[in-house]
């Protein structure tokens, strides 16, 4: 189902953002188009949602950032052992942090890693950490 929706004023909606529900439309969906009149098109097809949010809710990331996040998580989740997933993800996070770019992607990956850590009840074996934050 595709439904035109007018977002709240002041919201910065991007293509691929997840919408839990909108107005009388109670099914979740994803923004697939932004129109010049301020409306957006929301598609409730589960396959369309999965296209942008395969691993977690990536609302707030640009299309390019969503693709990069999903690509990284596809690689991480291809590893079968949860502890290895956590460590592999940590290495990717550290590499992205080293470039000083991709802050939003790093934050999303950190959130995903926190989920993996809670599920596996393990921490990464090696990780980079800001010395100012050591307690």
Whole-number pLDDT of residue 10: 41
CA–CA distance, 4 with 126 (Å, rounded to integer): 47
pLDDT of residue 9: 43
Which pTM was predicted? 0.76
Q: Mean pLDDT, consecutive 10-residue segments, the chain of 135 residues?
A: 48 86 82 90 92 90 93 94 93 91 92 91 76 77
Report the pLDDT value the prediction gives residue 115, as an integer from 0 to 100. Answer: 92
Residue 135 confidence (pLDDT): 67
Give the residue among 13, 30, 9, 12 at the shortest CA–CA distance from 21. 30
Beta bridge partners of residue 40, listed in sequence order: 5, 34
The closest of 36, 32, 33, 30 to 49, measured between CA atoms, is: 30
């Amino acid at each position: 189902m595709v439904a035109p929706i007018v977002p709240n004023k002041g919201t910065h909606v991007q293509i691929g953002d997840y919408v839990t529900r909108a107005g009388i439309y109670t099914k979740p969906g994803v923004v697939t188009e932004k129109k010049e009149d301020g409306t957006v098109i929301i598609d409730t097809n589960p396959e369309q949602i999965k296209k942008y949010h395969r691993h977690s809710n990536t609302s707030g990331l640009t299309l390019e950032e969503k693709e990069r996040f999903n690509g990284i998580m596809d690689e991480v989740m291809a590893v079968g052992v949860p502890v290895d997933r956590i460590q592999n993800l940590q290495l990717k996070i550290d590499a992205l942090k080293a470039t000083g770019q991709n802050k939003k992607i790093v934050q999303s990956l950190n959130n995903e890693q926190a989920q993996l850590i809670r599920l596996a009840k393990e921490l990464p074996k090696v990780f980079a950490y800001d010395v100012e934050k050591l307690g």
